[in-house]
Structure 1
Amino acid sequence: MTLTVLPVSPAEHTLLRHLYPLYLHDLSEFGNSYSLDADGLWQPDYLPYWLSGKEGCHPMLFRLDGRPAGFAMVGQAPFPFMTPGRDFHLSEFFVLRGERRHGVGRKAAFALFDRFPGTWELSQLSANQAAIAFWRRVIGEYMDGAFEDTTLDGEPAQVFDSRKRKQMA
């Protein structure tokens, strides 16, 4: 199976609009941060921001053998929602349920970290223990254990410099 991780093109905005509610539905399990409004639309909806073309916004689409498999939203400094002194913030990351536990998330994460070399930060909702374990394992493997396990805004987080991976290899 071939995984591609590429920027979302304008022609793919509708596809991302269809995938994004699945992601918000998954997140709704972990607290009241995301919920349906009176019209059945998930709130808050940050997708318009990501698709706005603003500097530092990198919506990325994952395709497995050409089929949609997930997406990521990567913020690049000067991105307003990240810690100063860091280069990239992985704001959102989603793999379709049917593609999970087959290495798709790991491969997609590695591709993102390789595509955007620099200091990364990512955080997870503290109630989402599966995501915390996933990111610790994936980043640990990617960086051969050389990452900082910390907190951002009171949530579990990881910080690492993907440029140092090349120096370790």
Structure 2
Amino acid sequence: MGVVLAGGRSSRMGRDKALLHWQGRPLLEHQCATLLAAGVDDVRISGARAHPLAIPDRHPQRGPLGGLSSVVDALGDVALLIVPVDMPRLTPALLARLRTAEACAACVHFADHVLPMRLRVDAETRAALDALMAADDDRARSLRALRQRVGAHALPLSAAETAQLRDCNTQADWDEVQP
């Protein structure tokens, strides 16, 4: 199952990143299509959106981990391939490499990057998510912390692959990734 994290406020961008146009369509649609082309069977969108694939965020203002927690609650035990909405250069080939990588760890990601990630959701992962969501400290609630709790395997990246993992948080970032 593919998941696009699209629940943020886009405050640094100044407008909804999911609606920015990339290659002739909204970035949200582009990311969903990229996941499907990478071989996932289905896609869901994390965030409060008027979209048939959306899973509403039950933990607003709790960051990507809050959105992921809502997705896990809705979908149960499943393998997830998770991408952020604001990483337009991701290719199906790179995501397919992540999806099919042989690793025993619950979480597989690329070296030095939190996202995208493959996450095996099971009782241990749900328990780790619940514990992190219950933390009083906002800094404790992160995808990086989840990765540490459930165990992770980092895949190496070439320089060309690393360029695909550029996220766009500001207008300047967005301008830099334009073809």
Q: TM-score, normalised by structure 2?
A: 0.30
Greater RCO, 1 or 2 (C-alpha within 8 Å, sep 6+): 2
Instruction: Name the one with the larger strand percent.
Output: 1
Q: TM-score, normalised by structure 1?
A: 0.31
